[in-house]
Amino acid sequence: MPSHLPYIAISAFDIMALAAVIGALATGLWIIPEGARESFHRRLWRLTGLSLVALTVSSVVLLVGRTLEMSRQSLRHVGHWLPLVVRETSFGHIWMVRPVMLIVAWAAWFIGRRPARHRAAYGLLLAAAVIAFTRSATGHPADQGQWTAPEWVDFVHLMAASVWAGGLFAMTVAIFPLLPKAQLSTPVRLALVERLSSVAAIALAAILVTGVLSAYHYLGGLGPLFHSAYGHTLLVKLALVAIAIALGAANRFVFVPRIRAATPAPHNLSAPAHEADERAFSHLARSVAIETGFLGAALVAAAVLLHGMPPSEMAHTIGGTMARASQPAGRLEFTRFEDSRDAPVAPAISTIRYGVLRRSASQLSDRDAHWPRVDQRSL
């Protein structure tokens, strides 16, 4: 387990960067009401840019991390292995989509610096969504092949989690601190928190449905939830999510109604916020900041899950079965490359999580003899 820590940290960093990009965009597009967009655009766009820097860095770090994880070599040898990973493995092929999407995202970011360019924000969101899909296509969901139901379920889960966790993060660092100075009328402020609450509720519904589907798929029943390391990590994640849900419910059913009650009557709509309103807002802002912290911890727990062995897949590896490429693609979890000299690899085998050499034995050159042999993750 300790040797997996750097890779877990890399996954967590990548997930958080992605969530920050998607959350900042979702905040600008769906949470900030029309009358407040001008006031927050610059700050939100700057946050989107910083998150995009993090996502660009995490994309490179992810490739290096996966290369080290697969080759079991030190950083000194990464120059040798990295081109091979990009050229020869399914992970590398899918990863190559990232630089393209990052270029699209950066172009959209530069175009969208002015508030009127709404389409740029949607373009950037689309690029981020494709990057999200590359995560699903190279994680556990891809173990049964590409474009399968588990991949789409995971993709929706990741997008909705990013909207919720990333959206609250954007509210905490970019919107709430600016609110007192923003000179918004109280109804616009009310609309802001009502929209925040609704977007969070829709995202949560999607997260729960897809989370339960994925959990059932990977656990294979209720028992392993309590009797496997994977299940225990999931329980920790569920506890964190439960706390975040409780805080979200308090926001929706306590703080937002308080703000609504403090909103002036319709004949006095342009009245500035009064003291009760300010207090309710600062309570809400604090609660949202704490909720963001718990969701951040849930994202880390998700990264731990990604590096664990799902019990339903473990079933395929016990009973002395050795992981070999001749097995149905994606059934087993590999931490190293398959040496396809032993078992001729069908070119179609490309879906195994960590990557498999895509050439048959006859196509192998002497250089390929250096590939480490396949190795099962310890159960």
Task: Name the 3-class secondary structure at 264.
Answer: coil
End-to-end CA distance of the chain: 11
Q: Closest separation between CB of residue 100 and ligand HEM, Å?
A: 19
Size of the site for ligand HEM (CB under 6 A): 26
Q: Interaction with ligand HEM in 225-264: which residues (CB under 6 A)?
A: 238, 241
88, 154, 313, 339: which one contacts ligand HEM (CB under 6 A)? Answer: 154
Q: How many CA atoms lie within 13 A of 80 on its CB side?
A: 12
Q: Which of residues 275-334 bind ligand HEM (CB under 6 A)?
A: 295, 298-299, 302, 305-306, 310
- CA dist 144 and 134 (Å) reads 15
Nearest distance from C-beta of residue 238 to ligand HEM, angstroms: 6
Tell me which of 124, 161, 179, 285 binds ligand HEM, using CB under 6 A.
161
Instruction: Count Cα atoms within 13 angstroms, Cβ side, for 207.
Output: 24
Our finding on whether 165 is near ligand HEM (CB under 6 A) is: yes
| Cross-strand bridge partners of residue 376 | 334
Query: In the range 85-144, which residues lie near ligand HEM by CB under 6 A?
Result: 135-136, 139-140
**Residue by residue, what is the 3-state secondary structure of 123-180?**
HHHHHHHHHHHHHHCCCHHHHHCCCCHHHHHHHHHHHHHHHHHHHHHHHHHHHHHHHH
In whole angstroms, the minimum distance from the beta carbon of 25 to ligand HEM comes to 17
Nearest to ligand HEM of 191, 203 (CB atom): 203
Q: If we measure between CA atoms, which residue out of 70, 90, 66 comes closest to residue 14?
A: 66
Which of 27, 59, 214, 335 is in the footprint of ligand HEM by CB under 6 A?
214
C-alpha to C-alpha distance for 107 and 186, rounded to whole angstroms: 36
Nearest to ligand HEM of 218, 371 (CB atom)? 218
Cα–chain center distance at 296: 11
Measured over the CA atoms of residue 68, residue 69, residue 71 and residue 74, the dihedral's sign is: positive
State which of residues 125, 215, 285, 332 lies at the interface with ligand HEM (CB under 6 A).
215
Interaction with ligand HEM in 4-43: which residues (CB under 6 A)? Answer: 15
Which residues in this chain contact ligand HEM in the complex, by CB under 6 A?
A: 15, 135-136, 139-140, 154, 157-158, 161, 165, 207-208, 211-212, 214-215, 218, 238, 241, 295, 298-299, 302, 305-306, 310
